[in-house]
């Protein structure tokens, strides 16, 4: 569960700093959005794997 904590901290950091990025630069906006999306997907995968383990199912990513 510590991994989930680290990923959610990373996600909240990106969300807090998103407004400070120069929004006039499309490349920076795309990179920021991809980093936020990556953090969201990472947290989602960890929650899915945690749920699968509680149900006695194998992990979805080996």
Question: What is the token pair recorded at 60?
Answer: 């979805």
> Does any domain span residue 4?
no
Per mean pLDDT, which range of 14-23, 28-37, 48-57 is the poorest? 14-23
> Does any domain span residue 19?
no
- Residues of the domain holding 38: 26-57
Query: pTM for this one?
Result: 0.50
The stretch 34-58 carries a mean pLDDT of: 82
List pLDDT tens digits, range 14-28.
666 665 665 667 777
Say if CB 7 and CB 42 are below 8 A apart: yes
> Does any domain span residue 51?
yes
Helix (H/G/I), strand (E/B), else coil: 56: coil
The stretch 28-38 carries a mean pLDDT of: 80
Q: Structural domain tally of the chain?
A: 1
């Amino acid at each position: 569960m510590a991994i989930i904590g680290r990923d959610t901290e990373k996600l909240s950091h990106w969300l807090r700093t998103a407004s400070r990025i120069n929004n006039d630069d499309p490349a920076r906006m795309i990179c920021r959005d991809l980093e936020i999306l990556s953090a969201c997907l990472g947290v989602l995968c960890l929650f899915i794997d945690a749920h699968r383990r509680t149900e006695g199912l194998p992990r979805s990513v080996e």
